[in-house]
Structure 1
């Protein structure tokens, strides 16, 4: 039996973006619910690898209204500290998060958007989609991938070097996750690591952290909005933030990347020159795609798979806002500190729409 509810706004996703939206919805005194697939608070942070730390100090990694407290003995907070902060945030602002609730579809109904979640349907005047990307890992279609008989996993399944003791591991990916996981394994000393990148690694200057990256991303967005030339944003500086473990592994000569292999074989990889390297495990640190399958019934996707937006508002459906998916839905909106402003703007537009 389907249970039907009605509300002003349904927020899909209870991670950092969903909570930031909830904060501003509460301030606007709108009726809303946050539907989150995870059984416990913390969003994707509760699923990340053990050694991961933020790029920025706590005071520069906060959601609107509540500074993240510093973590004793740490300049850059651990993921566990972030999870505790998000759980406290949810409780502090009494946000109506319904956990263990997976949203299957958002459809147009009679004057409302219908949000179908498990055995419930919510009739909403507006929807904020804040599902992020963590649930949709991307794996490249490289030759021989199905022939490899060892273990293959994505960033989402990596936890610690202890799981690979004595193994030959190939880490694929030249972004932050690839560099950090390669460094994590290499510094352990009990894993034989080969790091593979599509192009030579580009490390950001050692003094650059999340604070500077947010400023750079914001400056780029302001330049584009003002019609000035594209500054290139964060990508103009490099691909990899040199957090302490990455710097340590790099300076010790443990982060020398090889170009991408030509194919996988049953027991390893073959390089363009015909040589072969054996491997027990391949870790694909090859990024993510926006988790937007629940929006498919609205038929909003453009040619490149993204839903065209004006800020956070979907061009084809003004009652829908997309929050926290990256710069295309707000500068630095996929970060803790960066999601606050687009969340405020999205909720402001929704409040105006519902009251006009």
Structure 2
């Protein structure tokens, strides 16, 4: 990448950082606007975040709602596409964008810092700097795994993993496992371990309880109804979600599963916390194969103490406690930083006071993040294309 910052001629028209589902979808729609995006991807493949997921993973969104624009997913992949199949699809999609639409994708380019000088964004990477007047960060909301530091956690002798490093279920055979966190990732891990049936014991700790939805309803994937549900007012969405959960699972409070004070859809919008999709977890709780505990108070040498005074000995703790965006690491002291809540980014399609700078794909959506990104990319692309290369509106 040549460096033309000195003569104020940017190297690229539009740069997208990140070749995940958000970046790829946006690149497609930008090409429909007759503008030429360049994607910078830190890894050696598109959709690298999916590679880090555990091998048992299947999308919890229907195949119909998981395809990127212009290229449907094959029916042969099933209703809920497996991790490796989806990763293959994303890389085929990236190749298709490059070969048939002329989108430049540069792999192995790690963005370390961005800064703006004289109306031009300068992107510092592990290679040469590159410049542009239009910059989109599509690095995703889950760049940095987050684990709270309870008393004793760093000195105990319990094996600890974040959900990002969950790995194969076979690694938990004959072990006493505690999952911490009852949102989407925690329930997904619980489902996987319950189905494998190889742990000596299973338990889950939930600070605020959880919202649960069925993966299927009368044999039909319940998630396909989500786009229609989003057309309702938020409060009514909460009521429909609560009713569906109650009809499918009954009163979960008597099993120790509390309902969060914030409604299921409101919690997703305002806190970024997605509900769990049940695929064996609830049955395991009701039959005693999965024990439910409240929030953690502290860690001991080989056990965990909870806020109600109960104690549990365990071999492994899996923290499904969320992620951080890491955006402040990239933006530093730029003027955009006060407009970024890196701890809980409730991003709209453009969250910045800087012309020519967008943050895209950070907000979880009820209808599924992948489907939502394709819709949002279609709306955002004309906005980006409407900014002339000199930074002015046409």
Query: TM-score band, normalised by the shorter chain?
Result: 0.7 to 0.9
Counterpart of 1:70 in structure 2 is 75
Q: In the aligned structure 2, how far is the partner of 1:35 from the partner of 1:201? A: 37
Structure 2 residue 78 is matched with structure 1 residue 61: no
Which residue of 1 is the match for residue 338 of structure 2? 302
Q: Distance in 2 between matches of 1:333 and 1:57?
A: 10
Instruction: Tell me what 2:96 maps to.
Output: 92
Change over 3 Å in CA distance of 1:235–1:78 after alignment to 2:
farther
1:105 alignment partner, SS class: strand
1:281 to 309, 316, 324: 316
CA distance in 2, matches of 1:173, 1:110: 45
Structure 2 gap segments, 5+ residues each: 5-10, 237-261
Q: Indicate yes or no: 2:160 matched with 1:147.
A: no
User: Does the alignment pair 1:337 with 2:336?
Assistant: no
Aligned partner of residue 178 in structure 2, secondary structure: strand
| 2:224 corresponds to 1:211 | yes
Sort the Cα spacing of 1:346 and 1:53 in 2 relative to 1 into closer, same or farther, 3 A. same
Q: TM-score normalised to the size of structure 2?
A: 0.78
| Change in CA separation of 1:251 and 1:310 when aligned onto 2, cut-off 3 Å | closer
8 Å Cα contact 2:223/2:367 also seen in 1: no
Q: Which of 133, 137, 143 in structure 2 is aligned with 1:129?
A: 137
The answer to whether the 8 A contact 1:48-1:159 is kept is yes
C-alpha contact (below 8 Å) 1:319/1:350 kept by paired residues: yes
Tell which deviates more after alignment, 256-265 or 246-255: 246-255
Cα offset for 1:142? Answer: 1.9
Which of the residues 308, 321, 326 maps onto 2:358? 321
For the 8 Å contact 1:55–1:76, the answer to whether it is kept is yes
- For structure 1, the 5+ residue unaligned runs are 224-230
Q: Is the 8 A contact 2:22 2:138 kept in 1?
A: yes
In structure 2, the residue corresponding to 1:200 is in which secondary structure? coil
Could you list the per-position Cα deviations for residues 95-126 of structure 1 after superposition, in whole angstroms to 9, with x for gaps in the alignment? 32111111011110223111111122111011
1:259 corresponds to: 294
In structure 1, distance between residues paired with 2:158 and 2:194: 20
Superposed displacement of residue 216, structure 1: 3.3
* Distance of 1:308 and 1:277 partners within structure 2: 34
How far, CA to CA, are the matches of 1:239 and 1:139 in structure 2? 18
Q: What corresponds to 1:158 in structure 2?
A: 166
Whether contact under 8 Å (1:130, 1:322) holds in the other structure is yes
| Partner deviation per Cα, 1:214-255 (whole Å, 9 max, x = no partner) | 44346458x9xxxxxxx9672479953434344664565434
Q: Which residue does the alignment assign to 1:102?
A: 110
Equivalence for 1:184: 192
Determine the C-alpha separation between the residues in 2 that align with 1:259 and 1:266: 19
Report if aligned partners of 1:135, 1:291 keep a CA contact under 8 Å in 2. Answer: yes
Q: Which residue of 1 aligns with 2:29?
A: 24
Q: Report the TM-score when normalising by structure 1.
A: 0.86
What is the count of residue pairs matched by the alignment? 345
Write the deviation string for residues 1-45 of structure 1: whole angstroms up to 9, x where unpaired. Answer: x94260111101110001011101222222321011111222311
Q: Please report the RMSD computed on the Cα atoms of aligned residues, expressed in angstroms.
A: 3.0
Counterpart for residue 202 of structure 1: 211
1:350 corresponding residue in structure 2: 384
266-275 or 100-109, which moves further after superposition?
Answer: 266-275
Q: Secondary structure at the match of 2:372?
A: coil
**How many angstroms apart in 2 are the aligned matches of 1:210 and 1:317?**
36
Does the aligned pair in 1 maintain the 2:146–2:321 contact within 8 Å? yes
Residue 242 of structure 1 aligns to a residue whose secondary structure is strand
Per-residue deviation, residues 289-347 of structure 1 (Å, max 9, x unmatched): 223121224232338725999842233212111111015xxx56971111012212222
Bigger mean CA offset, 243-252 vs 76-85: 243-252
**Counterpart secondary structure, 2:130:** strand
Conservation of the 8 A alpha-carbon contact between 2:29 and 2:381: yes
Shift in alpha-carbon separation, 1:220–1:152, aligned structure 2, 3 A: farther
